[in-house]
Structure 1
Amino acid sequence: MTLYHAGEELTQLNDNHGERMKPLRNSGQDKGRPSLVENVPPEVLLELFSILLDDDSRNMIFPSHVCRLWRDLITQSSALWSCITLGDADESEENVFAFLKTCLQRAGAHPLSLSIHPDNDMMKPSALLKAVLQAAGKSEWSSISYDSHNINDFVHFFDGSFDLRQVTRLSLACNASGQGILDLNLPGGVVDMRPFTHLRSLNLEFLERFDITRVLVPWDQLTHLNLTVFIDSRLCVSILRRCINLESCELYPTTHEDLHILHDVGYERKLVRLPQLKHLHLTCYDVPSLLPDNLRCPVLEEASFDYVTKGVDGHCDFLESFIIKCRNTLLKLGLPGLMTDDFSKIQGRLTVLEELTITGPFGSPPSILGYDVTTPGPNSRYDRGVRTFFKNLRERPESLPKLTTLCMLEQRPEERLSVEREVAKFIKCRLFEFKDAPLKVIFRLKEGDKEEQNQRQENFREWQALGITIDFDL
């Protein structure tokens, strides 16, 4: 048998793979995807080399050999056993303790990761957490994700029960009404995360109020922040001013007073510069204005804004201005259908944008005067919204030159025909302006409407089986 060194072995395998792929690529039968041999564990490769490299098929390789190698690799890799996930299914107390014992033995001294969900009908999150505390004791934790309907369960993460000095990711969620993180029974009523000196990612999901004077966080350490808590816009600005190292951020600001604040004679803009922020997602009821007016994000690559009402003309000015300021780096942009009437104001400036996502019906909502959902056709509001958006794209075909993906999500069935018609016109113009540019168009109905449509189709099939003729021209 020919002997090879490790580097030569990998080179030989890649060369052989390339030779076998050439005729396939030439015949157009395969796209020639790269070899993934580098991802195979070396122990498994060594078991195969004696056969593969010499084209020797006389020696049979038994699946049990590879399975045994894989099993040994898995059981001996401590990192694979450091991730403890509970509560996704109905797990008995006996099985939970057996699982914890196995994980702890095989993880060894490797820092542990814990994720507990409230989907176990046999054991509540509090019982699962108690089992972890009993089995793991003072183990070192690198990541915690805990979801419970009882706010009192969260005390254990701040009273010393867990060793969280090395924790890098912390996610706490409680969606029970009337229970917020400030309701924790802790000394002085203060939730202190400052001892978590390695914390980099923080996710808090609560329905109740949030007060940064009583929730003490090492903001300047964070690279990822997700606050699924409705927070006043001014407080959001104050928090972000301290998050100088953020790379991604998702906030739920209350924005109904934004314009009043901005138009107040005493208002002074205090810029918040986030030099490393690449991902920004804002979800709110009214158009966000205060945050866009204060934020400066020189490397922002992905942004999405979700709101349900925009008020009168001009309410989007601050948001549009912010998007334009980020135009040189912004690759992905998500907007509500409400903003499609105004998108023409900024579309010509987004010269590097690659992906645009529109979520929700095009144009103004039913609350706008003159909307009549009962009147289909070109005079209906939803149809005008679709036509306005695509007309502006067609009339300025040179805009969005880098666009490769257009997504339209959570649309209404009434919009489908309008969208199909306008997309066809848009693609024709696009092909004329950018002949070789790739383009992907995605259209998805609102989830509830999709489920209703599937149910109707199921009913039709059942009725057809009973002899009822149903002939729809779709």
Structure 2
Amino acid sequence: MDTAPLLEYLAMNEPLLQDLTTRVEEAHRELLQLEVRRQQLIAFLAPARKERDDLRERVQDAHQAIRAPILRLPVEVISEIFIACLPDRPAWYPHKKDTIHVVTHVCRRWRQIALSTPSLWCHFVIVRPSKVQGRIFQSKYLQTMLSRSGNLPLSFSTVFDQHEAASDLLLPTIERWQHVRLYGPVQYARGILNNTPGEFPTLETLVIAPLRRVVPSRLQPTTPFHIIRAPCLRTVLVGQFADHSQLILPWSQLTRLTLRCLIPLSEYPAFLRKCPNLVDCELGIPFRTLPDLPFRPTPVVLQHLQTLVVWFERPFQPLLDSLVLPALRELSFETPDIYGHPPISSPSTLLSRSRCFLQKLSFLSCTTSQDEFLECLALSPALSELSLRGSDLSFAQPFLDSFNHDTPTSAMVPQLASLSITGASPKFCADLSAELFAGMVTNRWTAFTSDASEALASVREEDKGKPLRVFGLTSLSIRSVPADLGREIRTRLYSCRNEGLEVNRPEPQLVWA
């Protein structure tokens, strides 16, 4: 519609109402016609739009179907999966094959998720650099880990040397230390040794140890390692100090302690008396050029100690005679995998004096007399696990007869469930008879399963058909013995294996030097 005449009439300011009304009505009719055409076009396009939307939905569903399930998970779930894949040990090496670096190289989305998850960056190891460029990279790496970890507790291992760049970065984060391992000569860790506040509010584990054996003079710190307040500290490994008076810790709150110090045997009781709440303890007694002076054992009572591991390279019987461990459940003696160490003279005295209910006993690469070994077993009626490695014991008929009794209650160690013999000595293999040994195992298996019919009625429905093991062996392992001997024992225990006894497969022939 041409509106020019209307504008002309309006400009003339003349009352041409009839003409104006006619023209307005014509304009309304044209508008109605245009609206009808628009509605017709919308109706025409509606099926096409619906077809387009349906096609988009099918394409999206097909795209979701071919995507990996991990890509469909929420960010929070993927972050928790990354955290669950971290190694169990508190500190681990930042190698490109490790989980934290693998996930950052998969795709951009995973990298963003990893970088936004502080828990992934709280565990790291600071290795000792060999060159100046290595120290520069180490500082940048440490700064990156500290910034990405946010304010979460830190677990790390570090090797100290004369360069203190790492300690300068770590010291401001002392309030975040949780599991800490310090390796190297302690005199190089001056920043920590001179830490005047001495407060570690989140520290739970502390390891202080050399990288390798060093002479005692290099183990002397110039200042005491003094931790005044560490309310969460429970685990300590000390392998560094030749003078334990330089190590000041809240000993009374520790529950796990490992000592590997080059100190006289007479000083071990003083260490243990300071830790009345120990639950697990490992005593390392390394070789010393100076012989230990004799001392009078005085009782050291540890009411809560359940696990004791003694790793020794020199005699330690006076220390053993001073211990009273009424709650002891696991006892292990171990030496390096070489022969020539003195036998343990009387380990049974510890059991008789403590009156404990020992459940696990191990002699690893160390020996004791046949009578002492039998006495230890006689004093351990609740023993369930027995491990022997490099044993010099003679498993001849007189020894095996002590395990064969008519009734379970009269047998030696009636609750023994696991027997492991590894790296047996030539004497053991020469005295061991496959027929007698398999007969002993069979007799114990039969004796402990013959009266199980009444108890089978009370087991759960899903457990029916499985062998009921209240007492007696459930697993037997004999390794590092001649292959023919291992195969013969396994063959003679065929019926027991069918009933549920676990017996390891024989290994290749062992050649003795």
Shorter chain as normaliser: what TM range?
A: 0.5 to 0.7
Q: What is the alpha-carbon distance in structure 1 between the residues aligned to residue 255 and residue 283 of structure 2?
A: 14
Q: Which residue of 2 aligns with 1:304?
A: 332
Query: SS at the partner of 2:367?
Result: helix
Matched, 1:103 2:145: yes
Q: With structure 1 as the length reference, what TM-score do the two structures score?
A: 0.62
Matched, 1:66 2:73: yes
Query: SS at the partner of 1:434?
Result: helix
Change (3 A) 1:270 1:412: closer
Q: Is the 8 A contact 1:333 1:357 kept in 2?
A: yes
Query: SS at the partner of 1:407?
Result: strand
Q: Is the 8 A contact 1:220 1:243 kept in 2?
A: yes
How much has 1:354 moved relative to structure 2?
0.9
Change (3 A) 1:287 1:323: farther
Superposition pairs of residues 114-125 of structure 1, within 5 angstroms: 114-116=156-158, 125=160
Change (3 A) 1:193 1:181: farther
Superposition pairs of residues 71-220 of structure 1, within 5 angstroms: 71-73=78-80, 74=82, 75=114, 76-87=116-127, 96-97=138-139, 99-116=141-158, 125-126=160-161, 130-139=164-173, 140=175, 141-148=177-184, 150-160=185-195, 165-166=200-201, 167-174=203-210, 175-179=212-216, 182-186=219-223, 190-196=224-230, 198-206=232-240, 210-220=242-252
How much has 1:215 moved relative to structure 2?
2.9
Q: Which residue of 2 aligns with 1:352?
A: 382
Structure 1 alignment gaps of length 5 or more: 1-56, 118-124, 262-266, 364-383, 451-471
In the alignment, residue 442 of structure 2 is paired with which amino acid?
K
How much has 1:441 moved relative to structure 2?
2.0
Q: Is the 8 A contact 2:200 2:227 kept in 1?
A: no
Q: Is the 8 A contact 2:126 2:158 kept in 1?
A: yes
Q: What is the alpha-carbon distance in structure 2 between the residues aligned to residue 204 and residue 251 of structure 1?
A: 10
How much has 1:88 moved relative to structure 2?
10
Change (3 A) 1:341 1:349: same
Q: Which of structure 1's runs of 4+ aligned residues deviate more than 6 A? A: 88-91, 254-259
How much has 1:418 moved relative to structure 2?
4.7
Query: SS at the partner of 1:275?
Result: coil
In the alignment, residue 273 of structure 1 is paired with which amino acid?
V
Paired residues in the alignment total 352
Change (3 A) 1:404 1:180: farther
How much has 1:232 moved relative to structure 2?
2.7
In the alignment, residue 324 of structure 1 is paired with which amino acid?
S
Q: Which residue of 1 aligns with 2:14?
A: none
Which of 442, 448, 455 is matched with 1:434 structurally? 448
Change (3 A) 1:155 1:89: closer
How much has 1:94 moved relative to structure 2?
6.3
Q: What is the alpha-carbon distance in structure 2 between the residues aligned to residue 473 and residue 205 of structure 1?
A: 36
Q: Which residue of 2 aligns with 1:443?
A: 478
Q: Is the 8 A contact 2:129 2:138 kept in 1?
A: no
**How far does the alpha carbon of each residue in 1:410-434 deviate from its partner, in whole angstroms, 9 at most, with x for none?**
3346744654725423312222322
Change (3 A) 1:213 1:355: same
Query: SS at the partner of 1:316?
Result: coil
In the alignment, residue 182 of structure 2 is paired with which amino acid?
Y
In the alignment, residue 86 of structure 1 is paired with which amino acid?
I
Which of 235, 239, 242 is matched with 2:271 structurally? 239
Q: Is the 8 A contact 1:142 1:164 kept in 2?
A: no
Q: What is the alpha-carbon distance in structure 1 between the residues aligned to residue 129 and residue 71 of structure 2?
A: 31
**How far does the alpha carbon of each residue in 1:113-160 deviate from its partner, in whole angstroms, 9 at most, with x for none?**
11136xxxxxxx538x84533544501312211223x44333333122
Change (3 A) 1:340 1:168: same
Q: Is the 8 A contact 2:199 2:227 kept in 1?
A: no
Q: Which residue of 2 aligns with 1:14?
A: none
Q: Is the 8 A contact 1:138 1:162 kept in 2?
A: no
Q: Is the 8 A contact 2:234 2:253 kept in 1?
A: yes
Cα RMSD over matched residues?
Answer: 4.1
Query: SS at the partner of 1:390?
Result: helix
Query: SS at the partner of 1:399?
Result: coil
Change (3 A) 1:281 1:86: same
Q: Is the 8 A contact 2:345 2:369 kept in 1?
A: no
Q: Is the 8 A contact 1:259 1:290 kept in 2?
A: no
In the alignment, residue 387 of structure 2 is paired with which amino acid?
T
How much has 1:352 moved relative to structure 2?
0.9
Q: Is the 8 A contact 2:480 2:510 kept in 1?
A: no
Which of 339, 356, 367 is matched with 2:368 structurally? 339
**How far does the alpha carbon of each residue in 1:350-408 deviate from its partner, in whole angstroms, 9 at most, with x for none?**
11111111232314xxxxxxxxxxxxxxxxxxxx4666643433469711111111122
Q: What is the alpha-carbon distance in structure 2 between the residues aligned to residue 66 and residue 240 of structure 1?
A: 52
How much has 1:243 moved relative to structure 2?
0.8
Q: What is the alpha-carbon distance in structure 2 between the residues aligned to residue 83 and residue 473 of structure 1?
A: 42
Which of 252, 258, 282 is matched with 1:226 structurally? 258
Q: What is the alpha-carbon distance in structure 2 between the residues aligned to residue 193 and residue 180 of structure 1?
A: 23
Q: Is the 8 A contact 1:329 1:352 kept in 2?
A: yes
Identical-residue share of aligned pairs (%): 20
Larger Rg: 2
In the alignment, residue 291 of structure 1 is paired with which amino acid?
L
In the alignment, residue 204 of structure 2 is paired with which amino acid?
T
**How far does the alpha carbon of each residue in 1:257-286 deviate from its partner, in whole angstroms, 9 at most, with x for none?**
89954xxxxx5x632221221111112245
How much has 1:86 moved relative to structure 2?
3.3
Q: Which residue of 1 aligns with 2:416?
A: 403
In the alignment, residue 257 of structure 2 is paired with which amino acid?
L
Q: Is the 8 A contact 1:328 1:352 kept in 2?
A: no
Which of 288, 302, 305 is matched with 1:277 structurally? 305
Q: What is the alpha-carbon distance in structure 2 between the residues aligned to residue 305 and residue 442 of structure 1?
A: 19
Q: Is the 8 A contact 1:194 1:218 kept in 2?
A: yes
Structure 2 alignment gaps of length 5 or more: 1-61, 83-113, 450-468, 484-508
How much has 1:196 moved relative to structure 2?
4.4
Change (3 A) 1:155 1:389: farther
In the alignment, residue 79 of structure 1 is paired with which amino acid?
S
